[in-house]
Amino acid sequence: MLKTGFHFLAAGLLVIGIVCVARQFAAAQANSQPNPNAKPVGTQKQTFQTMPSVVAEVNGVKITKEELALECLKMHGREAVEEMIGLALVMQECKRLNITVTDEEAKEEIKRFASRFNVPVEQWIEVVKKEKGLSYEQYAAQMKQRVGLKKIAGQSVQVTNEEINRKLDSMYGPGVLVRQIVLFDKAKAEAVLRELQANPTKENFISLAKQRSDDEISASAGGLIPPIRRYSMPDNIQLENLLMNLKEGEITGIVDMGGFYVIFRCENDKYPAMPVNRQELAEKTYYLIEEEKINKAMAQILSRIVQSSQIMNFFEQPQSQAVTQYPTIIASVNGEPIHQQTVAEICAIRFGDNVLKDMIIHRIIQQKCKEANIAVSQEEINAELARIAGNILPLTPDGRPNVARLVEMQCREMKIEPAVYYSNVLWPRLALKKMTQGSVQVTQEDMIKAWEATYGPKVEVLAIFLNEERKAYDVWSQARKAYNTNQKPEEQIDRVKPIFGQLAAQHSIEQATRYNNGMIEPIARYSGMPQIENAAFDLQPGELSQIIPFDTVNGKQYLILFCLGKTQPDTGPFDDEIKQKLHDHIYDQKLEIEVAQVLNRLMSSATVDNDLAGKTQGPNMAGVSTNSTIR
């Protein structure tokens, strides 16, 4: 998240990585059979010593706990070392100041967190374990660090009513709804601004956002971002004031955001406050502000301690002489060593389950590559990096794909090291692609459907997404009451649209439809949801749909549509350049699906004994769904 207060996400990238496909393997393991030879899981406090020496077998090939620990260190070592350095610094400072921090105080801090969410401590511990992978002992150590920092701070935190009201305004108060066009290149931003000045209409801004913006997330919504509310940008008051003072239809100049350039257009300068009970939210808001103040104070103290300490972190200095001089030490804090083996074992306990699933998939792919005599060269990896970078990033000043920036961006977003990115993301992707060679064909029917989806007529609708059938019926009934059957379609739209939009803002579970009063991108043919497409294309302008149930990875959801009309098809020339772009897009999509299916077949045909999870999977025991595309 940027310090501007709204989300900016770099251009997306479809990648097939070991990290990402583990969820599919987990589905297979969930349906697999218990391993009668595996040790009972969860019957005792797990340590590295109690972990089985062989944690898994993949088609008869063993994976030892030492191999798992090293892989966990490679994947999560930096994170674990930083946590251990922080804990050591705080405990050393407490010792210097004669401050004691007891286990009981750490327990009380945990109880305080649980009470804020009105859940029993045991349930809160389970949430922490599930969300962060922390055992109770590891979480208690973090709470010790927190208590120590609070004691060092030696100050009570005061929260005023004015601060509570400002925080509520920043989350729920009135604001301004804007669209943005984000560009990494200033010259391109200046060219786009000139086009907007020549034609400042909403339609032109949306078109340029879709075509030119380097932020694919907002570009897909015509540049629309969540509403900006007063006090929501405490670290960039100047930008907040600029946006809050815009009038509807007004376009800003180029705003330099330090590395990228943004042009904003005001969509609604009187965006309403969310209908919430501020009195009921006051207590939670108090705790939220208190937590922010405590965290800020602790961060300042920790920064001061760091500046006065001698810290060696070999993740930060992998080429330093100290790495060679102290091969078993991974960091030190004021001369106090942190041993590599200790960190590896802690990582194995904390992250071992998920990392082992990754390793199993990696081994399955490696075995198939060896069997099929498939190799991935460094030249192929470089070519793939150049292709991806060329597709999603501006070229370097000398006209080359910006591979360095791509790798840095991907590693930052995935929180992994470059070596892991190459081995666990790029290598399996290319290996699986080579297994699919020749199996992907783009047909004339594919081209026709792609043209229809991209350039054909679309249905403009408002939408409300809900996850409860009873709630969907209640909302649908409220929308239906707004109808006057004697009105013409355009009159019906004028009457129902604001009411439907307000219902979307109040009830839709999908964020963008709440922020934009139900507005979504026009629905096209062949976009992947035929049930929704058919329902949309059957509607007439001013007509309300029935409740449309559909399945998602999170369970069944319900959709209500209100039709605003249909767009006209693009009648421009279908030239060779457009055909080639469509062909390449279709090929990439079909390749992703084929690669996913190849991986599913490999996994479902493998024999896997996961002793850490106490599960066995064989060719006749479990399979993985081939319906989802691996990304």
Mean pLDDT of 579-588: 84
Angle between helix 121-132 and 136-153 (nearest 10)? 100
In whole angstroms, give the CA distance from residue 591 to residue 390.
19
So what's the pLDDT on residue 564?
Answer: 93
Strand partners, 175: 229, 271
So what's the pLDDT on residue 323?
Answer: 54
Each residue's pLDDT tens digit, 311-334: 988 877 655 555 566 678 888 999
Q: What are phi and psi of 540, to 5 degrees?
A: -105, 155
In whole angstroms, give the CA distance from residue 182 to residue 91.
45
What's 372's DSSP letter? H
CA nearest neighbour of 537 among 524, 550, 520, 518:
524
For residue 40, pLDDT over 60 is answered with no
Each residue's pLDDT tens digit, 503-525: 998 899 987 788 778 888 889 98
For residue 561, pLDDT over 70 is answered with yes
CA angle 265, 269, 274 (to 5 degrees): 120
- The structure tokens 């002489």 sit at 321
Q: What would the DSSP string read from start to end of 323-344? A: HHH-TTEEEEETTEEEEHHHHH
Contact 540, 489 (CB under 8 A): yes
In whole angstroms, give the CA distance from residue 520 to residue 534.
16
In whole angstroms, give the CA distance from residue 257 to residue 255.
6
Question: How would residue 175 be classed by pLDDT, with cut points 50, 70 and 90?
Answer: very high
For residue 288, pLDDT over 90 is answered with no
So what's the pLDDT on residue 297?
Answer: 84
Residue % of the chain over a pLDDT of 90: 38
- For the chain, the average pLDDT equals 83
- The structure tokens 């909403």 sit at 202
Question: How would residue 35 be classed by pLDDT, with cut points 50, 70 and 90?
Answer: low
Angle between helix 378-392 and 427-435 (nearest 10)? 100
For residue 88, pLDDT over 50 is answered with yes
Contact 362, 16 (CB under 8 A): no
For residue 24, pLDDT over 50 is answered with no
So what's the pLDDT on residue 572?
Answer: 66
Each residue's pLDDT tens digit, 234-284: 889 999 999 999 999 999 999 998 878 999 999 989 888 887 888 888 988
- The contacts of residue 292 (CB under 8 Å, 6+ apart) are none
- The contacts of residue 180 (CB under 8 Å, 6+ apart) are 209, 213, 215, 218, 223, 225, 262, 263, 264, 265
Question: How would residue 30 be classed by pLDDT, with cut points 50, 70 and 90?
Answer: very low
pTM for the whole structure: 0.67
For residue 43, pLDDT over 50 is answered with no
For residue 120, how far is the Cα from the chain centroid? 29
So what's the pLDDT on residue 1?
Answer: 26
Task: Provide, for the chain, the percentages of residues in helix, strand and coil under a 3-state DSSP scheme, each rounded to the nearest 5.
Answer: 55, 15, 35
In whole angstroms, give the CA distance from residue 41 to residue 43.
6
